[in-house]
Amino acid sequence: MVRLVLAAFLGFALMVADHRYQYLETVRGSLSVLVYPFYYLANLPDTLLHRVQGRLADDEVLRRDLAALQRENLLLRARMQRFESLEAENRRLRDLLGSSVRVGERVLIAELLAVDLNPYRHHLLIDKGARAGVFVGQPVVDARAVMGQVVRADPLTARVLLITDVEHSLPVEVLRNGLRAIASGTGLINQLELPHLPKNADIRVGDLLVTSGLGGRFPAGYPVARVATVDSEPGNAFATVTAEPLARLDRSREVLLVWIPSSSEHAAGDPSEHSLNEAPER
Amino acid sequence: MTKRTRRGGGVILATLAVAMILTLLPMPDWSVPYRPPWIALTLLYWVLAVPERVGVFSAFGLGLLLDVVSANLLGQQALSLAVMAYLAEVLHRRIRLFPPLQQTLSIWMLLLVERLLFLWLLVATGQPLPPPVYWAGTVTGMLLWPWLFVVLRDLRRRFRVA
């Protein structure tokens, strides 16, 4: 009985300390190093499977993949040429206007560890951690769009909160007209919602939503989602708008970590700040 | 207490490590809510078998690791597992003597108590509420118990864990 009381007391003390204050980050960090071998072992079957699949792949398939990738590379390069000249022009114009500009974001490729963490939350584990310079609040994107942000940076691994998690919201704007909104996660992997948009807001199905850069967490201009439905029910004060994330949230194996040069110092601040983008709406 | 031979600590740790890996192993999306609570089940077996060695504090430590893994509040899973281990410890003489069906049901009860406490802590700290399929893990855990029991008992006999 004494031991139970002791354990209960310890448990409550830990929870309060973890919930109210951020004292336990170091404890969590060192425990996470302790569980790293388990992550590694649990991830092993998946890695081996992929390796074997790579070995067994057909010549024909590989050649076709290679050809497709070369074509895509050519297309992207051609687009890149235009992009570079546009970027230079943009910088010149901004110089003329005397406004500051952020260019030259640094990125790092990280691989997902195939482990199941918490079935009710949209978390990912990636194989780069604080040692690789990952910090809390860092934006994570894949080849198509924004995926989420880092919520914990342990020495060897980092935990990413996806944009579809119920606790996540991010500021976006409609690319077509610059209408600002908040995209909140719904807990469904293929749906975001845009709450508090007035019924007469100029938003249509198919509109591309990009990050607006407000809040300072995500760099501006990354694609996020495409508007899927716009409903205005007579009973509701606001329009009901849902959007479908463009990132392959449940299928990507590799993600990109982004460093924004001019704003990284305030994003790298204290971990308690990570509630900044997570509006506690629900 | 007289000096006892303590053997097979390695076996206990190894089974718990395997349980941890099974907890983390990626599975098809539809089956994730039905994943049995491997750690809780293995822990229950060892508490029932050798209550003087595996008890409240072992459960607490394991729960702490699980908390780190699933990004709960630190202490959340630890507390619920500790309470479950305590109940198992108090009742271990009875549960050991139960016929298989009754034993399985009492294991289910213990798993339910653990989940209930965990849910209460989720609500008390204002975290998002899981869907009702949250309870499904206890049922798969219960169905798995007879097999797990046999496997672990054979392991215990072979390595003479006492």
**Residue A32 C-alpha, separation from nearest chain B C-alpha, in angstroms:** 6
Closest CA to A240 of A174, A171, A194, A186: A194
Measured between CB atoms, does A111 come within 8 Å of chain B? Answer: no
How close, in Å, is residue A100 to chain B by CA atoms?
Answer: 38
pLDDT tens digit sequence for B55-112: 899 999 999 999 888 878 888 899 999 999 999 999 999 999 999 999 999 999 999 9
Tell whether A27 lies on the interface with B, counting CB pairs under 8 A. Answer: yes
Digit-coded pLDDT (tens) for B120-140: 998 888 777 888 888 999 999
How much is the mean pLDDT over chain B? 88
A33 to chain B, any CB pair closer than 8 A? The answer is no
Residues of chain A found within 8 Å of residue B17, distances taken between Cβ atoms: 38
**Nearest to B43, CA basis, from B13, B79, B9:** B13
Contact A26/B at CB under 8 A: no
Q: What per-residue confidence (pLDDT) applies to A25?
A: 77
Give ∠ CA B40-A126-A254 in degrees, rounded to 5: 130
- Per cent of chain B over pLDDT 70 is 96
Buried b (16+ CB within 10 A) or exposed e, B14-42: ebbeebbbbbbbeeeeeeebebbbbbbbb
CB contact (8 A) between residue A11 and residue B29: no
Residues A268 and A133 sit within 8 Å (Cβ to Cβ): no
- Give the separation between CA A124 and CA A115, rounded to whole angstroms: 8
Q: What is the pLDDT of residue A266?
A: 42
B86 contact A CB<8A: yes
All residues of chain A having their beta carbon less than 8 Å from the beta carbon of residue B29 are: 250
Q: What is the Cα gyration radius of chain A?
A: 22
| Shortest Cα distance, chain A CAs vs residue B161, angstroms | 24
Banded pLDDT at B144 (limits 50, 70, 90): very high
B78 chain-A contacts, CB cut-off 8 A: 7, 10-11, 14
Is it the case that residue A102 has pLDDT exceeding 80?
A: no
Contact map slice: B 119-138 vs A, CB within 8 A: 121, 125, 128, 130-131, 134
Q: Are B41 and B141 in contact (CB under 8 A)?
A: yes
**Would the CB atoms of A42 and B21 count as touching at under 8 Å?**
yes
- pLDDT given at position A210: 92
Q: How many CB pairs under 8 A join A and B?
A: 116
pLDDT of residue A120: 76
ipTM topping 0.85: no
Q: Do B26 and A24 count as a contact with CB atoms less than 8 A apart? A: no
Q: Which two tokens stand for residue B92?
A: 């271990």
Contacts of A130 (CB under 8 A, 6+ apart): A29, A153, A154, A155, A158
Contact A267, A217 (CB under 8 A): yes
Q: Is any Cβ of chain B less than 8 angstroms from the Cβ of A151? A: yes
Check CB contact of A31 with chain B, cutoff 8 Å: yes
Region label for B5, one of left (φ > 0), alpha (ψ between -120 and 50) or beta (otherwise): beta
Q: Could B26 and A46 be called an inter-chain contact, meaning their C-beta atoms sit closer than 8 Å?
A: yes
Q: Using the beta-carbon criterion (under 8 Å), do B125 and A19 form an inter-chain contact?
A: yes
Q: Tell me if chain B has a CB within 8 Å of the CB of A118.
A: yes
Cβ separation B21–A4 shorter than 8 A: no
Which pLDDT does position A267 carry in this prediction?
41
Q: Is the dihedral of CA A116, A120, A124, A125 positive or negative?
A: negative
The mean per-residue pLDDT over the stretch A169-180 comes to: 91
The conformation of residue B137, written as its DSSP 8-state character, comes to: H
pLDDT band at residue A104 under the 50/70/90 scheme:
low
In this predicted model, what pLDDT tens digit does every residue of A201-254 receive, in sequence order? 889 899 999 998 888 888 888 899 999 999 888 888 888 899 999 988 887 788
C-alpha distance across the termini of chain B, in Å = 15
CA distance A205 to A182: 16
Is B82's CB within 8 Å of A4's CB? yes
Give the whole-angstrom CA distance, residue A254 versus residue A172. 24
Cβ-proximal residues to A155 (8 Å cutoff; 6+ apart), any chain: A29, A32, A33, A129, A130, A131
Quote the percentage of chain A above a pLDDT of 70: 89
**Cross-chain Cβ contact B24/A115 below 8 Å:** yes
Is pLDDT at A126 greater than 70 in this prediction?
Answer: yes
From the list B33, B60, B73, which residue is nearest A19 (CB)?
B73
